[in-house]
Each structure stands twice: as structure tokens, then as C-alpha cells.
Chain A
């Protein structure tokens, strides 16, 4: 009979195993105990640095330092690079888990669902105070960030990010949204949003799948007074414009590097994109494309990284940014992704590396231009905007 199990034995065994799993799961819950040894050695020292260096307003910094897990960062593909993540790991021991987000509303909704499971979230301009008003993020004491001394001074004092209890985001970059076109296929050179609805460009446009932003473009193109609060008539006009736009849009992509690839391969002749697309397309082996700001105006973003309120590894946010937002990484990020960033020291590095012409061409030396744009933000009635978008692109 040796080696045979009765049903009772089986139940005991499975009950024991189940209890073991539950205990293990509970003990690995952040804050409950120390992290596995494979994470702890390097990470714990970094976390303690973070805890001591974190702004005094960070309520859970001490608790988070006791459970040094990886920093969970919800961001766009052009806010990080493998080299930077690797460098941060080597210099601070902080591991970073990147989750890419499609657009602001996507990030906002995800954060609402998971709260402290994320530690750092990227957001655009007026979306940032929206996060704050919803109690999802907490301000930072930007003066306590040593790396912030590398920023253009104006980036440390945006009105819309300044609250009595601190600064809402660590500034990253900015760009107006431009129309990028391949002059070999698009002639005459466009100067208006209306080129996107010209039937001769059927199936030749690629845009990012950002429903609210596309509605904002439609609002600008159709002359809406306040693109964030379009009236029913203005929404209807914007929707009509989208109806004309849809046949021309071959596909809606998730990240802007897909747009670059589509332009580089010749699949797309027209696209909406940040500053810097011509060089990125060329770097990707594509044709010489050009970019314009439509005469009706455009929207633009000033983006930054927000500290999640109650993030499980919040104490690692500052050490991560201190290491990852250094000028060397930022300068390389500019070369990779084109649009201007707020790190002034990185601009100097670019000048030193012989990239002044490129940096100046993409307005890196004119950060004040960022405040001349219609900044991205949430619509007054997001549901109506999403419905209007989906009624066109959803069928």
C-alpha cells in the first residue's frame, strides 16, 4: 500500500498546498515582507536612497522602501529606451517595468483601475491636472530633484502644473502635432487640415489611435470655437469631417514609431506626428518627408511624468528620474525621437556633439514656444467625443 493515497490524503495534501499558496501570495504582497533576494540587494539600497531623498510630502515613501519591487511605469514608447533602463538598473539597482499606453484617456482609465500597482505615469499638459483633481497622482517637490537643475527654468514653473502642495509632473518634452507628408506623392504641399480629407489620398494616411485627439483635430479643422467643449452642432460638423477622413486613413496605430515606419515604407503618404518626423523617417531608411503646422492651428502637448498617489514603489520614482532623466539619456532620446525635450543640459550636449542644427530646427532651443500651442487636455464631455469618433471609425 506504500505510495498510495486515499481521498483523505489527497484532500489534506491539496488543502495544505492551497494554504501554502495563499500564505506565499500574502507574504509577497507589497509591504508585507521583504522582496525576493534576487531583487533585494541592489534594489534595497536604491530604495533607501529614494526614501531619504523623496519629498517630505510623499506619504508612503518609507513603507515603499521596505518592499523594493520594480518601478511600474505607464508611458509612451518615446519616453524610455532600453539603454536608459539598463543604465538605471546598473547605477541604482532599480528595475523598471514599462507598460505602454495608447493615449491620455487610456492611461487615465488604467490608473483609475489599478491605482498603486503603478508608480509613475506619463501624461500630457492639461490631462495632468485632471489626474490630480481625480486624486490619482500626487505633486512632487521639484526643487528636491537634483536632475531638475538640468531643465529649462520655465519647465519648472508651468502654471497648469503648479499647485500649493507641489508640482504635478516632472517635465519631459513638448511638440505641436504636425501634418507630415511625402512631397513625392502629396502635391501641392499642403497648408491645411483639409488635405487629410482630399479623396485623392484614399488609404494613404496613418494616424495614432487617439480618439479624443482626433476629435480635437476635427474641431480645429472645422473651426470649433472651443475644441474641448464643442457644441452639438460643432460635434456634428467634426463628425462629418471624420466621415470624409476615414476612407483616407489606412490604419490607426498604437504608437508613433508605427507612424514613422509607415511613412518610411511608403505605405503612408500623410500622417499626423510630433516634431522631428522628417529625420526619424530618414533614419528609418525612408524618403525625405516634410512637416507643416496647418494654417487653422493645431494642438500640442507638454508632457511629463506623474507620481502615482499611493504607488507601491513610490520611493523609487525620484531615484529613477534622477538617474534616467540625465542629460545623456535625454540627448539620445532626442536623436531617436525628434521632438524637443525640456532638459537644457541635453541641448548643450547635442550642440557639443555637432547636432545644433538638428536641435534648433526642431525648436529644442525655444522651449517658450511650447506655451503658444493649444495644449492637449480632456474634453468637457469625453463620452460624446468617444461616441462621435466611434460612430465613424467603429464601423
Chain B
């Protein structure tokens, strides 16, 4: 308000100085505009253009505009199926992740002392102190045929021969993705629940609401931004996951990101770009579908 009040008289008396002042105020946006424009929008534009081009015999890009790359990805080969599978896996991991993170965060906020909350949250964050790759390779050592899980199951007498069902398939991919993304869901929900006034639940129950009804009608609506943010933080990155499906999914557990990389490694940049933009289109479509549940400020609030 102060700035506006100061600017108004200046605008009538000294228009040139005011214009300069306005421009000056834009300077702080220049670095961000550069990053977004030159390092994001321009490459994105080039990739988008390339998605309509083709590759020559010498792997050079040929700017012969057509939709054939999109048609190919959507109609030929296994790509549409892999798309569907990727969305299903992302939805499944999101559901399991939220399903596990919500009670975890609820219990932590409501029943654990502030000191222990910090310790538990630290334990959630600690995996981030190690490399993403190391964490995935560790899971290879856990889930493999000669891995810890099989050894424990054999030692307990549950199985007699090592099982190969935990690694290099969709099961392994879901387990490891859940592990990797659980902290994002848990921390987001924690910050959301931390601001909730739990006496409202007591009041609702005092007024006759069953515990589950109180949760559903009092708690959930108020932590909705956190829930939506947690879903977004888990679901969307999984759509583009490459390393985890490659390292623990083998040839059976791949997701669409694998195809993007294979096209890239093979020099088929137009097909790579078309596949990548189809993933982006799915993300945009989902965000539009959920727009009534999502406000930008929710993201900020939910992320805490």
C-alpha cells in the first residue's frame, strides 16, 4: 500500500522517473527470468519443435514438420501400454505412499513429543544424505536372489529356495519407488498436520461424531492442500522415473522414462521429444483435472 501511495503522485508529476522506478523494480526478476527463459523455455521450445521433425540416416535432425512421431508413439509398438502402466504404477505408489505417510504423520504430530518428533523426522530425512544411486543399489542387495530378504526368509523357514520375485520386475519397482518417495509424502503431510488444531476432533466427537467421521469431515478438508501437494510430489516425478525401473525393474519392470532414454541413446531425438511431451501432456491434463482441488498457494502451504 505504501508503495502504491508513493507511486501515484509521482506518476502524475514525474512520469519518466516513475517509469524508471518501475523498471528498477523489475531488475530482481531478471535472473529468474533468464533461468526460466533461456535455460528452460528455449530448450523446451526446441525440443517441442524437434518432436515434429524426423531423423536422417546419418542421425541428423530433419525439419520436415509432421505429427508422425506422436502417431507412432500412440499407435505403434508397446508405448501406449507402457504409458498406461507408468500411470498405474505412479498411482499405486502414490496411494501406498499417502496411505503409509498419513497415519505416520498423524501419529507423530498428535502423540509424539516435540523432541522425539525431531528425531523421527531426522530419521526420515537421513536417507537423503546418501546418493540416490547408492540407495537403489542397496535395494538390489536387499531384494536380489542372494539378497538379505531371501536369506531372512530362508533362515525363518518361510521358503527353501531363494525367490526371484522381488527384483527385476514391477514388484521391485513399486517397493523401491515407495521407499524413495515416502519421505516426500511424510514431510509434506507432517507440515500440514502440524498446523491442525486437534481439539476440533475432540469437539466433533463430543458433538456425537464417530472418530472416522470426525477425521473425514473435520481433519481431511483442512489438510487437503497438504494431501494434494503430497500426491503431486510423489505422482508426477514417478511419471518420468528412469533409474529405478532400469536398476531394479530389469526388462520386465520398465516405465515410459526408459523408452525416452533409449530413444535418446539411439539418436532418435524426435521420438524422444514426442514421448517426453506426451508425458508432459499427461501431467498437464492431470493438473487441469485436479485444478479445483489445487491452488498454487496450496502448494506453498502444503509444502510448508
Contacts and interface: CB of A to CB of B under 8 A. Distances in A.
Interface of A: 7, 11, 14, 18, 102-103, 105-106, 108-109, 112, 134, 203, 209, 211-212, 246, 249-252, 265-267, 380-383, 385-387, 389-395
Interface stretch (B176-184, B224-232, B255-263): B255-263
Given A7-B24, A250-B251, A395-B77, 17 more contacts: A14-B28, A105-B59, A108-B59, A109-B267, A134-B58, A203-B168, A209-B265, A249-B250, A265-B144, A381-B57, A383-B266, A385-B266, A386-B266, A386-B267, A391-B76, A393-B254, A394-B79
B164 to A, nearest CB: 7
Interface of B: 24, 27-28, 31, 55, 57-59, 72, 76-79, 81-82, 144-146, 164, 168, 250-251, 254, 258-259, 262-268, 271
Nearest to B24: A11
Contacts of B82: 394-395
Given A250-B251, A252-B251, A382-B57, A266 B266 contact: no
B267 A108 contact: yes
Contacts of A387: 72, 77, 268, 271
Contact of A386 (B31, B251, B262): B262
Contacts of A252: 251
5 contacts: A11-B28, A267-B144, A386-B268, A387-B268, A391-B77
A382 B58 CA distance: 8
B168 A250 contact: yes
Contact of B250 (A105, A134, A212, A251): A251
A250 B250 contact: yes
Given A267-B144, A380-B57, A203 B265 contact: no
B145 A109 contact: no
A382 B146 contact: no
A57 B115 CA distance: 70
B265 A390 contact: no
Contacts of B145: 266-267
Contact of B251 (A108, A112, A267, A393): A393
Nearest to A390: B262
B57 A394 contact: no
Nearest to B265: A106
B263 A386 contact: yes
Given A11-B27, A203-B168, A395-B79, A102 B265 contact: yes
Contacts of B144: 265, 267
A392 B251 CA distance: 10
A102 B57 CA distance: 21
A134 B251 CA distance: 33
A209 B168 CA distance: 15
Given A211-B266, A386-B266, A251 B58 contact: no
Closest 10 pairs between A and B when the two form their complex, measured CB to CB: A395-B78, A386-B266, A391-B77, A251-B250, A394-B259, A109-B267, A395-B82, A249-B251, A106-B265, A383-B55
B57 A251 contact: no
A23 B57 CA distance: 42
B265 A109 contact: yes
Contacts of B76: 391
A109 B76 CA distance: 25
A76 to B, nearest CB: 15
A212 to B, nearest CB: 7
Tell which of B59, B82, B164, B251 has the most Cβ of chain A within 10 Å: B251
Nearest to B85: A395
Given A383-B55, A390-B263, A203 B27 contact: no
B251 A251 contact: yes
Contact of B78 (A211, A212, A251, A394): A394
Nearest to B270: A383
Contact of A394 (B55, B250, B258, B267): B258
A251 B168 contact: yes
Contacts of A383: 55, 57, 59, 266-268
Nearest to A134: B58
A380 B56 CA distance: 11
Contact of B267 (A249, A251, A266, A382): A382
Nearest to B145: A267
